[in-house]
Structure 1
Amino acid sequence: MKVVLLLLLLLVSLAPVSVRGADYVIGEGDSLDISVWGVKELNFPVKVRPDGKITVPGLGEVVASGSTPSQLQTMLGGRLKELVKNPIVTVTVREITNSKVYVFGSGVKAAVYDLSRRTTLLQLLCTLPEVKAADLRNAYLLRDGKKVKTDLHRLFIQGDTTQDLPLETNDSLFVPLLQDRSVYIMGAVAVPKAIEYREGMKVMEAILEAGGFTRFADQNDVVVRRKDGDKAQALEVKAKRLFKEGDLSQNIELKAGDYVMVKEAFF
């Protein structure tokens, strides 16, 4: 008897995590297999009802939603002691229907994704075909009503995988639309124009695409005007320091929606 019991416990401990769900939280709609070793009448499949409860023979209604399988096993084992001597209870998640992530925002198509396996934020972003045209800098992940991750640009565009994290049931991903995908070059340049923004674009690169400075341009009087939410910024660029002194800090990186103003010199 002891040998059989030890073998049974060993098999349970070696069961895959995806099946046993060691840290998975049971929810409404999930299908469970419940078994009590040696008691045929207490081996049965059951589906968690919308009220979060299941019906167990001899116990009646039991709340299953909100517990992990191991927690439910412990709870059932304690209550079944009134009916069975030293009950050995096993709870297996047979079908997961409760674990979902919600994606919304004008930058992507709204959808509900089933978490049938462990999934990270990066893995989910890779499944969204419109994400490259979205405003990832202002995107965020909501969990229990709180922002747990903001600025997804670092993760998805710059490849900073330290920003990745596992998704959890009922997480919500908000991805807004990138309103302006252009950089505007104005003033004393050969061809004032709007240029489609590219990741990593620098101010001098944009000026050269607009034909470069005119002979009337004041190369030390270039201003990048940027709107960051409700705040407006004016970033000065002194191109002569870049050309003559090699001051690379003057060649600032642009953002979508920036206006590059090249002023004329006064003679």
Structure 2
Amino acid sequence: MERLPAPTRPDLVAADRASFIGPLDTIGVDVFNVPDLTRELRVDASGRISMPLIGEMDVRGKTANEVAAMIEAQLDRYVRNPQVTVNVRNSVSQVVTVDGSVNEPGLYPVTNQTTLVRAVASAKGLSEFGRSEDVVILRTVNNRRIAGLYNLDAIRRGTYEDPPIFANDLVIVGDSKERRMFQDFLAIAPLLSAPLIVALQ
């Protein structure tokens, strides 16, 4: 019996995907050799941070490297050759919403490894009435709302690729009305005086 080959090192590392800072995220700012300016900051609800010497700065929708470059440019008047490193410590803005017929609907963190199957698994999988062939991803691209319809069973069989999930995506799992109706019939079956026959697809 042939064994599955072991993955190579590149197989174990997901492709890089830009991660953007958003409201209520927490970032760490490290200014080399200036401990008074090194601190942890929480982005406010409008996407701004406030630092000594610099004041307020809009960091919404920027990467950590872009924010570091902005801080360096502002500090250049006060610090000789400033070297700034910015790290995202905690992100609450990079999330996907998983809704519909899943066991635990909610908001889940998005990383560069998040795919549709993994997002649904984060929500503890499909509920009793969930339809694996009726899963929709809603996404906004260039201010246009677009939707994609996916079949989880086909993805699991390898028929097509497991699509990547990005921040602010909305994943909705459809509901099987036929199965739900049958369950409702079963609930009232003890009250019926004659057998009940229901045709299911």
- Indicate conservation of the 8 Å contact 2:98/2:108, yes or no: no
Gaps of 5+ in 1: 1-16, 182-192, 197-255, 257-267
Aligned to 2:34: 39
TM value normalised by structure 1: 0.54
Q: Offset at 1:126?
A: 2.8
Aligned to 1:121: 116
1:135 and 2:131 equivalent?
Answer: yes
TM value normalised by structure 2: 0.70
Gaps of 5+ in 2: 1-12, 180-196
Out of 93-102 and 53-62, give the one that drifted further: 93-102
Q: Offset at 1:45?
A: 1.0
**1:48-87 equivalent positions in 2, closer than 5 A:** 48-87=43-82
Q: 2:169 aligns with which of 168, 171, 175?
A: 171
- Indicate conservation of the 8 Å contact 2:98/2:120, yes or no: no
- Number of positions where the alignment pairs a residue of Structure 1 with one of Structure 2: 167
CA distance in 2, matches of 1:173, 1:112: 10
CA distance in 2, matches of 1:97, 1:151: 26
Q: Offset at 1:146?
A: 2.7
Q: How big is the alpha-carbon RMSD for the aligned residues of Structure 1 and Structure 2?
A: 2.9
Q: Which has the higher contact order (CA 8 A, sep 6+)?
A: 2
Deviations 1:220-261 (A, max 9, x none): xxxxxxxxxxxxxxxxxxxxxxxxxxxxxxxxxxxx3xxxxx
CA distance in 2, matches of 1:158, 1:131: 20
Aligned to 1:108: 102
Deviations 1:148-169 (A, max 9, x none): 531324544644351x122211
Change (3 A) 1:142 1:116: closer
Runs (4 or more) in structure 1 with deviation over 6 Å come to: none
Letter in 2 for 1:111: P
Letter in 1 for 2:174: P
Change (3 A) 1:157 1:177: farther
Change (3 A) 1:73 1:101: same
* SS of residue paired to 1:175: strand
1:90 and 2:85 equivalent?
Answer: yes
- Indicate conservation of the 8 Å contact 2:96/2:109, yes or no: yes
Q: Report % sequence identity.
A: 25
* SS of residue paired to 1:180: helix
